[in-house]
Structure 1
Amino acid sequence: MDDALLELLRRVDTPTVCNAIEVAEGKRGFNAFTRGTMLCSAPEAPAIVGHARTARIQAVTPPQEPTEVIKTRRMAYYKYMSEGPRPGVAVIQDMDVPGAIGAYWGEVNTNIHKAFGLSGAVTDGVMRDLGDMPGGFSVVAGSIGPSHGFVHVIDFDQPVDIFGMTVTPGALVHADRHGAVVIPEAVVPHLGEAIATLMRSEKIVFDAVKGKQITFEDFEAVWAAFEAART
């Protein structure tokens, strides 16, 4: 992914990326995206784009392992998050979902992970401290809550599931206030042109209907031009 594509992906929303993947693949049926409603800590911020650094957490009950084991794993997790390809995104599965109560993402962890050079975080779990997160690091989460509970890392660098979206370590993730999507590796070289094709085709419809009133006969011609342009 070159710098031009990265900047383009930060400017477009996740629904556009989902549609562009279908344009690049030449078919519908792509399904590597989140299901259900997610919340974004900074809805108007640029999209989160990066390679996944994955982990799983729990918070409802205290960890049962020895304290030293927990501490060692915690620091190994942070070392893992500080490494890897950039741009990077923390992708964290909360094993307490649908009963998640522990906010892993708040003022402390967002600042730490931003300092590691990560672009943001995607989780099916909980976030908090919405007024205190740093600029330039957005969180797309499953819910908002006040407490961190007994939150602790149980493992990392393994495939995770975020609301039906499977994410393997290193996968290219795009996320915003709509949710998240995994961009197939084979699509990446074609994604810029696919987005351009999508925008050109949609402009045909928007130019014809936005702020205007048209007949069905006019619409038929517009839709035929739209379908021809997006293939």
Structure 2
Amino acid sequence: MLELLDDIGIFWRGVVLGVIIAAPVGPIGLLCIRRSLERGLSTGLATGLGAAIADAAFSAVAAFGITAVLDMITGNMRLLQVLGGTFLLAVAVHSLMREPRPLAAEPVAGNLTAATFTGFFLTATNPVTILGMSAIVIGFGNTRGPAEDGTLVAGIFAGSLLWWVVLCGGVTLLRRRVTGRTVHWINIGTGVVLGLLGIYTLGAAWVG
């Protein structure tokens, strides 16, 4: 009974860590907001799901102490920065070139597989996210074995996904109050932020 209660405590600790990891507004958050407005809740959630899968995967690497994988990531940091920066710039250009148009009365969901992949790829190729996530898990995990590590990772996945459900759900509820002009500025803001992040990431790869 005590072990079960301990596992429950570890799971909820993971949920809190998952929310902490996912909550800061970044490229994934901006994409989830935009896609929830333009393509509906399912597309926004698919993007968040991809990010949550990446969060869980790298949390598992940190929690289980898979040093070979961590060494591989740090050893290929420049490649990850180039891939991530290039992808960010591509998404930024797409956002900036979108023609302003009013929201459809009923959104038509986009390609959910592509949306999930985008969320996963942007998270998985962001070195800052990877290293920050590893530091959080290693610093605050404090588990004692594989079973507890697995419970913690499950909690992190649940917490990350919970955040995207709340964010995308909230945006969807407010959708009818959003005008086409607002969406236009959201697209511009998303493009600018993603572009700056892409340039910064490529610059870090060049300098590093």
What TM-score bracket applies, with the shorter chain setting the length? Answer: under 0.3
RCO (CA 8 Å, sep 6+): is it higher in 1 or 2? 2
- When Rg is computed on C-alpha atoms for both structures, the one with the higher figure is 1
Higher relative strand content: 1
